[in-house]
Amino acid sequence: MKQVYLDNNATTIVDPLVKQAMDPFFCQMFGNPNSLHRFGTETHPEMALALDRLYAGIGAGDDDDILINGCATEGNNTVLKSVFWDIISRTEKKRIITTQIEHPAVLHTCQFLEEKGAEVVYLPVNDEGIVTPEILRAELDPEKTALVSIMWANNETGLINPLKELAEMTKAAGALFHSDAVQAIGKIPVNVQDVPVDFLTFSAHKFHGPKGIGGLYIRSGVELVPLLHGGEQMGGLRAGTINVAFMVAMGLAMEIAVDALEYEDREVRRLRDKLEDALLALPDVDIIGKRELRTPNTILASFKGIEGEAFLWDLNTKGVAASTGSACSSEDLQADATFQAMNVDADLAHTGVRFSLSRFTTEDEIDYTIGVIKETVTRLRTISSTY
Ligand code: C6P
């Protein structure tokens, strides 16, 4: 049976070129980069190249930092907890402003910090699912705000926030600005020269790198309290032996992903729109968020009267992999808030299915998926009207 993978917002296939680039670091160049002998030092040029590629990919300056870490969840935790320890617990600035639509890696960390004494404001979105500067302005008290954390693009809807305006407004109020850019890298341009973020998180497995490696950008001059102590790696900001193979892989994956942005915007968007048009031609199907406001690869569709999980199960038996939303928040605040914020009624919220494409998705796969969806929708609606 044909297998079609349309869950690229959960994770992506590793690009074969990226996989190949990792190979030498397991059995040949396997030294610890902190060792002084040849096995250690011979990894340094490869690590430097990887860092150069990461810096170039997001437009970071030479004086900025990019910490290599385990994943975006770690990056998000590091920023929020660092600001808590460095500012919130020591000054009158107790407020973190975030949004209701963040990933649990931000939401759950904020909830934890609230218990420790932080004041957290969870911004709503407008009726298009966007966090606008006006929404932020209402809560951005310069006397109270330590940090604003707003995702670049939402993982469930693909909706893109106006990051430049949000970051500029935050900086003007004297607060730090963090963005979880996990779903933006490799889908739309992300450049820290254009957008004055202080911190930015990303994760290699969302742009055809391996799982278990990510990056945290820190603007030059911005303080960070380490989450992990115990070594001098990453200038003492993140202790622990660096996974050289994965770091090299992430650097190459970033370079390829950024080079492929034009393809993403043209071809991935074309295939996404083809699928979306086919969905909209079916009765009682809604798509969440205007397509021009979304990343080019994402559709969150609601099929009235069909329970999302039942639908997914049927698609799965025909070889099509999609999801009901975020792989780690189907039951909680993020999924609910996204729907609530956009005035999607509760019934519809249980019928949401996310299709997320990548540059590896083919036209043939989309055509097959359209056929499978038509058949599945008809069958499931017939069953539900019979019983
Ligand atoms: N979202 C999804 O299905 P990690 O796995 O820690 O590298 O990434 C976590 C993460 C953080 N922020 C955003 C915006 C994300 O989308 C994710 C991962 C997946 O939507 C899995 S829950």
How many CA within 13 A on the CB side of residue 270? 8
> What is the number of the ligand 1 atom nearest to the C-alpha of 76?
11
Cβ–ligand 1 contact at 101 (below 6 Å): no
Domain final position from 237, 258, 279: 258
C-alpha distances out from residue 198 to 89, 180, 221, Å: 20, 11, 9
Domain at 283, CATH number: 3.90.1150.10
Q: What percent of the chain has pLDDT over 90?
A: 88
For the cut 60, the answer to whether the pLDDT of residue 333 exceeds it is no
Determine whether the shortest distance from the Cβ of 334 to ligand 1 is under 6 A.
no
Element (H, E) at 5: strand 4-5
Average pLDDT, the chain: 94
Averaged pLDDT, 67-91: 98
Known catalytic residue at 328: yes
Residue bearing the CA closest to ligand 1, atom 19: 10
83 and 127 co-located in one domain = yes
Residue in the structure block whose two tokens are 């994956």: 253
Q: What CATH number should be reported for the domain holding residue 27?
A: 3.40.640.10
Same domain assignment for residues 149 and 120: yes
Indicate if ligand 1 lies below 6 Å from the C-beta of 332: no
| pLDDT surpasses 50 at 308 | yes
For 303-362, where are the alpha helices, taking DSSP H only?
308-317, 333-341, 346-349
Residue-range definition of the domain harbouring residue 62: 16-258
Determine the distance from the C-alpha atom of residue 329 to the mean position of all C-alpha atoms in its chain, rounded to a whole number. Answer: 13
Average pLDDT estimate for 253-268: 98
Same domain, 120 and 207: yes
196, 227, 258 — which closes off a domain? 258
Residue 339: is its pLDDT beyond 90?
Answer: no
Q: Note whether 237 and 326 are same-domain residues.
A: no
Mean pLDDT of 134-154: 98
Confidence class for position 349, pLDDT limits 50, 70, 90: low
Phi first, then psi, for residue 96 (nearest 5°) are -110, 130
Q: Is residue 331 pLDDT above 60, yes or no? A: no
